[in-house]
Amino acid sequence: MALDLSGLNPDQRAAVCATEGPLLVLAGAGSGKTRVITHRVVYLLERGVAPGNIVALSFTNKAADEMRERLMKMTSKAVADALVLGTFHSVGAAMMREQPDQFGVPKKFGILDQGDVYGLVRAVLRDLGLHGQGAERRFDLGAIVQRISLWKNDFVSPADAQGLYFETEYDEAAAAVYGPYEERLRALGAVDFDDLICRVATTLEENAEARAYWQGKFRYLMVDEYQDTNRAQLEVVRRLAGERENVCVVGDDDQAIYGWRGAKVANILGFDMYFKRAQTIKLEQNYRSYAPICRCANAVIRRNTSRHEKELVPQRRGGDKVTLVVAPDGDQEARWIGRTIYREIKERGTKPEDIAVLYRSAKQCDAIEALLQEHGLAYRILGGQAFYDKKQVKDALAYLKVMIAPKDDLATRRALDVPSRGVGLKTIEHLSEFARHRNLSLAEAIHRSDEIADIPSRAAAGLRSFSAAIKRAQAHFYSSGSAVAPLQGLLEGVGLREYVLKEAGSEAAAAARWDGVVWLLEALGRFEQRARAKGGHVRYNDFFQVMNASKDKDEGDEEDAARGKVTLSTLHSAKGLEWPLVLLIGCEEGIMPHKRVSAPRISDAIAGDIEEERRLFYVGITRARDRLYITRAATRLERGAEVPRKPSRFLDDLPEADIQVHDIARDERLGHDNIASMAEAFLANLAKGL
């Protein structure tokens, strides 16, 4: 069946049909960009382009899956599966697996997730004497990891980092960690997520054979959310595009809100500088929001100077004005929000999943969460760290893998490192070399470590202790047929709980962290019970796959996860989502925009700027389909004292004709006055009648 383009507007059709050469599609909020990308893919297929020659890159697995599902309905499962659809990271990993030698990785390289990276950085800090008792409170691991990630994506090598000007002790510590961290990655035969892009970009630049192969294979490139690309991602796109330059990027510079993690808005603003023959098509028709919401969004973002000139053209006429709510203080703001949501659901019949509360900083969520609980309303929170991403859970899971799946070298390396046993990088290299020459797993090499020369006595003792603990747990596992008790015994035997206590710094914090490990043991027990109830063998690989897929499942089942629940979300986490009713809260100076925009700048990527804050506010406004409330408080409690708050400067940009002000204190006072006047009038009339 031929592709039907009649449902597209003229600009959308133009973007679909302009297949040759570089194309920038500026897609405003709610303008139907995913529809354009999928139609463009089918348009190419109908003109004889092979599915394997088409690449569509996105930033989340959820977006890639949604695109694949749409294309499956428009073509077939076989065709959709043959297309190269995925994130920059997943496509980079696939390229490296296909040509490991070209990209300088082992055939079976490991990919470290965030928890693994934190573990390596922690170990390096400890080796450098920067992470001992109490030192973890001196250096936040996330800040170290972020700096290394930013350097990598700007192609700053460990040697280059040593020559940088250090503005803070974090810069100095990150530069010291960077080199040893990279050495540990090599020793493990592993890469981190940044390598999946940076290593690909470097190889495509330096290796002509690899570059020719991939340019020949990937003949048509499409990139979604292009405003979120960093320098390394830009270089991947440029080097894959080659002289053909059949690259279509879709994005909106007005929604570029990730500068703090390395995204370069300059990539989309300067697209025609990198691709000289570039054509630009603007998608300005907004199909999401009512006109007052669109006009408010346009008025706010128009104040930014670094942007492509465009505006949202609302296709939905009518609609309520945007309501600006002014509360006397933060407590009354939160209570008004709680009451409003309760009335919407209980009195107006609004579905909970159609309501979202959006805020600049995660800590703003606490008061709203408490009030929703008080009203008995279900909710979900977007953002934050899931339990299966927490370090102690990943550590326990690594021990489980070593016990029942000992060929997993990455799990063995992680378990060996926590708690510390005095096993340094040189010892790991000796073990890895011994294992390679004898075709052994790392765990098997550890069990035979007495055969390896040049291992220091402290490390040798640590390896013997580790080996004995694993063998005891395995014997218990094989005799009992269950992994729960053996794993619990193993974790106690190696002192993992004591290690967690030391890392946490207090009994209360340690107990909270250990709850995740208890959950893992309980989940493992339930998994075994279900398998036995079905009369089959317990397949522990299925359990590992479930654990690995948990996060993707949470992200993928967006509709199921949201059903019957109000959404509480940071503005960053809300990007790409929409709701009929949105409450954008805490719109005051120091909150929205964030106080850091007036603080001394560390760097553009870390400190951010006022234009990015304005884009973040714009993103918040454009999440609303039908109704939008924007709230602020006149005072807030800070360190026990009521402190006056200035309204956000962004509120000054809202057009008066499209907003209505609801002053909680004034309106409630007027409400009481009206009731009193009505009562007086009633009594007066009653007296006249008498």
Interval 425-439: pLDDT, tens: 888 888 988 988 899
Q: What percent of the chain has pLDDT over 90?
A: 63
- The CA-atom distances, in angstroms, between 408 and each of 96, 99, 415, 442 are 20, 22, 11, 8
Catalytic annotation, pick one of 11, 182, 192, 225: 225
Rounded Cα–Cα distance for residues 569 and 382 (Å): 5
Region 71-97: mean pLDDT is 94
Evaluate if residue 600 carries a pLDDT over 50: no
Q: Lowest-confidence range among 388-392, 458-462, 521-525, 584-588?
A: 388-392
Confidence (pLDDT) at 370:
79
Interval 34-43: pLDDT, tens: 999 999 999 9
Evaluate if residue 606 carries a pLDDT over 70: no
Catalytic annotation, pick one of 11, 12, 33, 627: 33
When pLDDT is cut at 50, 70 and 90, the band that residue 447 belongs to is: very high
Q: Which residue has the higher pLDDT, 548 or 179?
A: 179
Region 499-519: mean pLDDT is 75
Confidence (pLDDT) at 502:
77
Q: Which residue has the higher pLDDT, 690 or 444?
A: 444
Confidence (pLDDT) at 513:
77
Evaluate if residue 185 carries a pLDDT over 70: yes
Rounded Cα–Cα distance for residues 492 and 502 (Å): 15
Confidence (pLDDT) at 546:
58
Region 114-130: mean pLDDT is 85
CA angle 514, 369, 390 (to 5 degrees): 25
Binding positions for ATP are: 27-34
146: tokens are 């972020």
CA 623 to chain centre: 18
| Domains 10-103+195-283 and 313-378+564-671 agree in fold | yes
Confidence (pLDDT) at 424:
83
Quick one: which H or E segment has residue 394? Answer: helix 391-404
Q: Lowest-confidence range among 116-120, 663-667, 683-687?
A: 683-687
**Residue 584 forms beta bridges with which residues?**
358, 630
Confidence (pLDDT) at 618:
98
499: tokens are 């290690």
DSSP 377: -
At 213 the three-state DSSP class reads helix
Evaluate if residue 526 carries a pLDDT over 50: yes
Q: Which residue has the higher pLDDT, 559 or 157?
A: 157
Nearest to 231 by CA among 150, 171, 117, 146: 150
Q: Lowest-confidence range among 288-297, 349-358, 468-477, 518-527?
A: 518-527
Evaluate if residue 608 carries a pLDDT over 70: no
224 is catalytic: yes
Buried b (16+ CB within 10 A) or exposed e, 471-496: eebbebbeeeebbbebbbebbeebeb
Q: Give backbone dihedrals phi and psi of 424, rounded to 5 degrees, phi first.
A: -90, -175
Alpha helices in 563-625 (DSSP H): 571-574, 604-607, 610-621
Binding positions are: 27-34
Region 101-108: mean pLDDT is 91
33 is catalytic: yes
Region 326-344: mean pLDDT is 94
Rounded Cα–Cα distance for residues 562 and 278 (Å): 40
Confidence (pLDDT) at 553:
38
Confidence (pLDDT) at 641:
87
Interval 380-399: pLDDT, tens: 888 754 455 577 888 899 99
Evaluate if residue 99 carries a pLDDT over 80: yes
Region 111-120: mean pLDDT is 86
225 is catalytic: yes
Evaluate if residue 90 carries a pLDDT over 90: yes
Catalytic annotation, pick one of 623, 632, 636, 645: 623
Fold of 313-378+564-671: Rossmann fold (3.40.50)
Catalytic annotation, pick one of 19, 34, 99, 474: 34
Confidence (pLDDT) at 561:
67
Evaluate if residue 638 carries a pLDDT over 80: yes
Evaluate if residue 135 carries a pLDDT over 60: no
Q: Lowest-confidence range among 57-61, 145-149, 642-646, 658-662?
A: 57-61
66 is catalytic: no
Q: Which residue has the higher pLDDT, 379 or 605?
A: 379
Region 579-591: mean pLDDT is 97
When pLDDT is cut at 50, 70 and 90, the band that residue 501 belongs to is: confident
When pLDDT is cut at 50, 70 and 90, the band that residue 668 belongs to is: low
Confidence (pLDDT) at 604:
43
Q: Which residues contact 634 (CB under 8 A, 6 or more apart)?
A: 326, 327, 328, 329, 644, 645
Evaluate if residue 550 carries a pLDDT over 80: no
Confidence (pLDDT) at 394:
86
At 445 the three-state DSSP class reads helix
Q: Give backbone dihedrals phi and psi of 54, rounded to 5 degrees, phi first.
A: -110, 125
When pLDDT is cut at 50, 70 and 90, the band that residue 678 belongs to is: very low
Evaluate if residue 130 carries a pLDDT over 80: no
Rounded Cα–Cα distance for residues 676 and 666 (Å): 15
Name the CATH architecture for the domain at 388-551.
Orthogonal Bundle (1.10)
Confidence (pLDDT) at 684:
55
In one-letter notation, the amino acid at residue 579 is W
Evaluate if residue 65 carries a pLDDT over 60: yes
At 527 the three-state DSSP class reads helix
Confidence (pLDDT) at 637:
86
Interval 192-201: pLDDT, tens: 999 999 999 9
Catalytic annotation, pick one of 87, 203, 255, 364: 255
602: tokens are 């560390």
Fold of 10-103+195-283: Rossmann fold (3.40.50)
- Domain boundary assignment for the chain: 10-103+195-283, 131-187, 313-378+564-671, 388-551
Evaluate if residue 66 carries a pLDDT over 50: yes
Confidence (pLDDT) at 410:
85
At 579 the three-state DSSP class reads strand
Q: Lowest-confidence range among 63-77, 236-250, 422-436, 471-485?
A: 422-436
Evaluate if residue 549 carries a pLDDT over 60: no
202 is catalytic: no
**Residue 55 forms beta bridges with which residues?**
84, 221
